[in-house]
A = this chain, B = another copy of it.
Amino acid sequence: MADRPVTIVDVARHAGVSKALVSFALNDRPGVSPDTRDRILASAEELGWRPSHRARALSASRAFALGLVVARPPELLGVDPFFLSFIAGVETVLSQQGHVLVLQVVRDEAAEIDGYERLARDGRVDGVFLTDLRHDDPRPARLHRLGLPAVTLNATSGESPYPAVRLDDRAGIRASVRHLAELGHARIGHVSGPRSYLHGDSRRNAWAEAMTELGLPPGPEVESDFTPAGGAAATRELLRADHPPTAVVYANDLMAMAGATAARELGLSLPGDLSVTGFDDIAPAAHMHPPLTTVRADTVGWGERSAIVLLDLVDGRTCTDVDLPPARLVVRRSSAPPAPRTASSHRPPDPGPSPHPRSPTSRTTEE
């Protein structure tokens, strides 16, 4: 039946006005008398007219779309807990504004910046989200040169041409360290993500600073890569050292979970011989053995807020940096007081269902 899609001229004809007036009425601009306006809107309703996004995009020189390019090694692709949650948050904002998200998933950083530049040059998006920032990241400058609006996630403020939407991960790491210290740990190690990433580095520095604040000697640390294999290898390295740590703070859950397994395979029992903490609170973290003490951030909220800021920027409204509520510690059973020291570090195997030590901690959530 109604084959040819209805356009603005159909509505104009039906309402007995010019198509310019239909446009005015639709975007409720001044200069349209109230009853004409109602008549036009009624006609539009009756004909089921939806203004063509494509025509509007051409005319307005806008894409009504925002872009995100994700660079992930195949290893991590499936399990990264961040992006889908972030995108879910972004989506709640965009869908109300008639915008849409364009996503690219690429393998490495070279392809990542190519992806952003292609989106920009082709005018596929009005602005982009910059995640996984690195030290001396080339993206802000290059995209700024193209005149593309952007927001950066967790960038250092200051020299950036773009507003930052920050969610402090340092607070969660510091809480982890303090929590472990309160349990009686003194040698607290760290397995970091790549320190070339801002978030890899900031978590590592948060750990180091917390140790210093508590008057503890800086424990052993290993730089790793956020993958389970990397976390397991780093853990073996830490535990084979002369004075192995009694607790390890990992920069993410995947490494913490694999590290826990690696420790157990070296004959340690958890959390007796080794306490571990993670970061992200991915779904399986609460269901591993023992349940993982970790840090949780409101990733969905991060996406929402980032989208709001980016849309403001795209629309020319002024924006400032935004700070979101920091990541919070979630205490579970993978952290416990250190076992009294015996000569050997090899202890009897995991005693099955572990006791449920309840640890008094400041401003932390328990589960």
Closest to A253 in B: B284
Does residue A75 face the partner (Cβ distance < 8 Å to B)? yes
Does residue A353 face the partner (Cβ distance < 8 Å to B)? yes
Does residue A29 face the partner (Cβ distance < 8 Å to B)? no
Residues of chain B contacted by A80 (CB below 8 angstroms) = 78, 84
Known: A80-B84, A101-B103, A124-B53. A254 touches B283 (CB 8 A): yes
Does residue A105 face the partner (Cβ distance < 8 Å to B)? yes
Write the A87-127 contact mask toward B (1 if CB under 8 angstroms, else 0).
Answer: 11001000100101111111100000001001101111000
Docked-complex contact A77 and B88, CB < 8 angstroms: yes
What is the distance, in angstroms, from A197's C-beta to the closest C-beta of chain B?
18
What is the distance, in angstroms, from A344's C-beta to the closest C-beta of chain B?
14
Docked-complex contact B351 and A54, CB < 8 angstroms: no
Docked-complex contact B57 and A284, CB < 8 angstroms: no
Docked-complex contact A123 and B79, CB < 8 angstroms: no
Residues of chain B contacted by A57 (CB below 8 angstroms) = 54, 57-58
Docked-complex contact A87 and B102, CB < 8 angstroms: no
Docked-complex contact B258 and A287, CB < 8 angstroms: yes
Cα–Cα, bound, A282→B260 (Å): 17
Cα–Cα, bound, A106→B104 (Å): 18
- Segment at the B interface, from A209-217, A225-233, A307-315, A323-331: A225-233
Known: A57-B54, A287-B261, A349-B351. A106 touches B78 (CB 8 A): no
Residues of chain B contacted by A63 (CB below 8 angstroms) = 54
Docked-complex contact B77 and A79, CB < 8 angstroms: no
Cα–Cα, bound, A63→B350 (Å): 58
Cα–Cα, bound, A260→B82 (Å): 25
Residues of chain B contacted by A283 (CB below 8 angstroms) = 75-76, 78-79, 227-228, 254
Does residue A336 face the partner (Cβ distance < 8 Å to B)? no
Cα–Cα, bound, A266→B289 (Å): 12
Known: A80-B84, A229-B287, A284-B257. A353 touches B54 (CB 8 A): no
Most B C-beta atoms less than 10 A away, residue of A82, A124, A232: A124
Residues of chain B contacted by A65 (CB below 8 angstroms) = 102
Closest to A79 in B: B283
Does residue A237 face the partner (Cβ distance < 8 Å to B)? no
Known: A65-B102, A78-B282. A265 touches B84 (CB 8 A): no
Cα–Cα, bound, A264→B105 (Å): 38
What is the distance, in angstroms, from A106's C-beta to the closest C-beta of chain B?
7
Known: A284-B258, A353-B349. A72 touches B84 (CB 8 A): yes
Docked-complex contact B286 and A228, CB < 8 angstroms: yes
Known: A54-B58, A75-B283, A283-B254. A265 touches B122 (CB 8 A): no
Known: A83-B84, A85-B77, A123-B54. A287 touches B232 (CB 8 A): yes
- Taking a contact as CB atoms closer than 8 A, the residue among B91, B231, B282 that contacts A79 in the complex is B282
Most B C-beta atoms less than 10 A away, residue of A104, A107, A254: A104
Residues of chain B contacted by A352 (CB below 8 angstroms) = 264-265, 267, 269, 348-350
10 additional A-B pairs beyond A98-B122, A258-B284, A267-B352, beta carbons within 8 Å, are A50-B121, A52-B58, A77-B81, A78-B85, A78-B299, A91-B104, A101-B104, A228-B286, A261-B288, A349-B351
Closest 8 CB pairs of A and B: A349-B352, A78-B81, A258-B287, A228-B287, A88-B105, A103-B103, A261-B289, A79-B283
Write 7 A-B pairs (CB below 8 A) sorted by A numbering: A55-B58, A78-B299, A229-B286, A231-B287, A260-B289, A267-B353, A349-B353
